[in-house]
Amino acid sequence: MHEVRIHGRGGQGAVLALKLLTKALVLEGKWAVGIPSFGFERRGAPVAAFLRFDDHEIRMMTNIYDPDYVLCIDPSVADVVDILAGVQEGGTLVQATKSRPESLELPERIATVGVCDAVGIALEVFGKSITNTVMLGAFARTTGLVSLESLEAGLQDPTMFRDAAVEQNIAAVRRGYAETTVQQRQGGVQQ
């Protein structure tokens, strides 16, 4: 079973990213359970969402404390939340940042890092820093767990988006995929 924890800020679309990724995985024939986290969050406050997926039925409906994958859609959330808490040995981080992977200070247990200037892309595509669909493309590129085609198919429901057309979100996913830099690390150093 694969476990993903998505970090962002209220109003950025972390829960929508969860729904879209879950939908894309189901389109690929996977069993997937998305667990949104709603509390007393306000716009701009750190939020998390959780996703489990596998080739078999999933019955666990709890938050994820020891993820295999962390998808962080906001470059500043790591300043206030330990987004890597509990990440498994050999884990993967997909981070919205302008930084290069080799410049990030990460624990040795992180084996794969994908970075994407999601804010820059979002500003060009949408005119605002809504990074969720950009980072779904980055997740697909970094992990290979979901195809770009399935993400695009999952985006075809126009009722999913308040602020942007489906075409803009498809462009964002494609750019996130194309403009993500992936680094495989071994023992905390780049390979």
Within 8 A by CB and 6+ apart from 65, the residues are 85, 86
pLDDT at 191: 46
pLDDT one-digit tens code per residue, 146-169: 999 999 999 987 677 665 688 899
Give me the domains of the chain, ranges plus CATH numbers. Answer: 2-190 (3.40.920.10)
| pTM of the full structure | 0.92
Mean pLDDT (whole number) for 172-186: 95
Q: What is the pLDDT of residues 85-113, one digit of tens each?
A: 999 999 999 999 999 999 999 999 999 99
Backbone angles phi, psi at 28, to 5 degrees: -90, 5
- Residues 109-129 have pLDDT tens digits of 999 999 999 999 999 999 999
83-87: list long-range contacts, CB under 8 Å, 24+ apart.
83/5, 83/7, 84/110
Q: What pLDDT, on a 0 to 100 scale, did the predictor assign at position 37?
A: 76
Model pLDDT, residue 12: 80
Written as one string, the DSSP assignment of 57-79 is -----S--SS-SEEEE--TTGGG
**DSSP code per residue over 19-59:** HHHHHHHHHTT-EEEEEE--SS--TTSEEEEEEEEESS---
Residue 2: both structure tokens together: 């694969």
The pLDDT tens digits of the residues spanning 6-53 come to 999 887 889 999 999 999 999 999 999 999 876 555 677 888 999 999
